[in-house]
Amino acid sequence: MLDVLLVALGAMAGAPLRYLVDRWISARHDTVFPWGTFTVNVAGSLVLGLVTGAAAAHGLPRSVVLLAGTGFCGALTTFSTFGYETVRLVEDGAYGYAAGNVLGSAAAGLMAVTAGYALATSL
């Protein structure tokens, strides 16, 4: 039961932050590309890399991994919105943006999680 509570507490912080960051970034870009979702997904990948790296290399407690990794990062990042926005771009005929969203999100997310993991394990 404590595990579920930790995940829920992390999600309570991650979900509103995702919404606020997405709105803030989207308001500053006049493009159909979903920069807000891209940003929260890459940032969440970086944080998850840091958390899992710290857990692997330094014994970060499972409770922190549940709170920050599963709860916070799980709610901060959003695969469903990424998928929806990509489909919307295709429907609007913005094929280049759709491809850029898929390839860019995958590449940037993998680089971010790798960098976070490497940084945390090297400290």
**Residue 91: helix, strand or coil by DSSP?**
helix
* CA distance to 49, 58, 75, 107, 109, per residue, from 121 (Å): 10, 7, 24, 21, 18
State pLDDT tens for residues 19-64: 999 999 999 999 999 999 999 999 999 999 999 999 999 999 999 9
Please tell me the predicted confidence (pLDDT) of residue 43: 98
Please tell me the predicted confidence (pLDDT) of residue 74: 97
* CA distance to 5, 6, 19, 65, 81, per residue, from 24 (Å): 29, 27, 9, 28, 16
Known binding-site positions for Na(+): 74, 77
**Residue 31: helix, strand or coil by DSSP?**
coil
- Its domain, for residue 112, covers 2-122
Sequence-distant (≥ 6) Cβ neighbours of residue 80 within 8 angstroms = none
Known binding-site positions: 74, 77
State pLDDT tens for residues 68-107: 999 999 999 999 999 999 999 999 999 999 999 999 999 9
Number of domains into which the chain is organized: 1
